[in-house]
Amino acid sequence: MCHLKSEHYLKTKNCLHSHWKWSQTNKFHSTTILLDDNKQILFHPRTSSSTQVIIADRPLPLNGKHYWEIFVPSVYGTSIMFGIATNEQQMFSSTFTNLIGIDQHGWGLSHHGLLWHNGISYSYLSQSMEPLRPVLIGLEFDADARTLSYIINNQSMGIAFRCIPTNVLIYPAVSSTSAQSTMILKHCCKICSSLREHCLKLIKSSKLRDNINNQLLPRHLIEQLIK
């Protein structure tokens, strides 16, 4: 795989920043440490004999396109995965396994280039991610079209999953079997796809945002701007 590029995938896109972080939902079985205001995950700090899943502290919104990037300083081991999951996702296994996608509650990509869902794997990348090298994983979830796409080192790999159910809440998710493996959430946002969203971004980035309650704006717009 290619290494990190200087040109950012979102260079030509307008985005509204999202505020989710990683969450340690199962502390009883947890083999991870969350650092840097829950944006960095250290899996299996000493040795590893299990698989751990970490999901976001809140679900993704029910509409729009959502993008996030995860930087991994080095990929190695049995399984490192990136994807999405419902709140029914299995969070821990005492064995090494591809845990995101082991059942119907997750959709994941392993660092070996395979997609997993409902216990079935599919070929996606032409080769595994280069071992012991850094990689930048971008994920784009289209909540309207119900698709998930991957961007590897700023290169789009295309749609990986389609027909993701609409009747469940969806969370960003990662997993690892590898001792002392690290993942860093570098960026998360909602991609602007309408004139209304572009206007919200412009107002948020201007001085109007500093004194929003004194502006002659509709109440529903003010409420969205102060979220």
28 and 133 part of one domain: yes
Domain with 209 in it: 194-227
139 and 67 part of one domain: yes
203 and 144 part of one domain: no
208 and 165 part of one domain: no
Residue 70, class by beta-carbon neighbours within 10 Å (0-12 exposed, 13-18 middle, 19+ buried)?
buried
Q: Look at residue 3 in the predicted model and tell me its pLDDT.
A: 35
Q: Look at residue 41 in the predicted model and tell me its pLDDT.
A: 97
d(CA 108, CA 137): 12
pLDDT > 90 in the chain, percent: 73
**Nearest CA among 121, 149, 129 for reference residue 72:** 129
pTM for this model (two decimals)? 0.82
Taking only the tens place, the pLDDT of each residue in 171-187 is 999 999 999 999 999 99
92 sits in which H/E element: strand 92-93
In a domain, 6, yes or no: no
Taking only the tens place, the pLDDT of each residue in 122-165 is 999 999 999 999 999 999 999 999 999 999 999 999 999 999 99
In a domain, 8, yes or no: no
- Tens-binned pLDDT, residue by residue, of the chain (227 aa): 333 333 467 766 778 899 999 997 666 567 899 999 999 999 999 999 999 999 999 999 999 999 999 999 999 999 999 999 999 999 999 999 999 999 999 999 999 999 999 999 999 999 999 999 999 999 999 999 999 999 999 999 999 999 999 999 999 999 999 999 999 999 999 998 767 666 776 766 666 656 655 566 676 666 666 55
134 and 225 part of one domain: no
Identity at 99, one-letter amino acid code: L
187 and 131 part of one domain: yes
In a domain, 28, yes or no: yes
185 and 112 part of one domain: yes
> What is the number of domains present in the chain?
2
d(CA 48, CA 124): 27
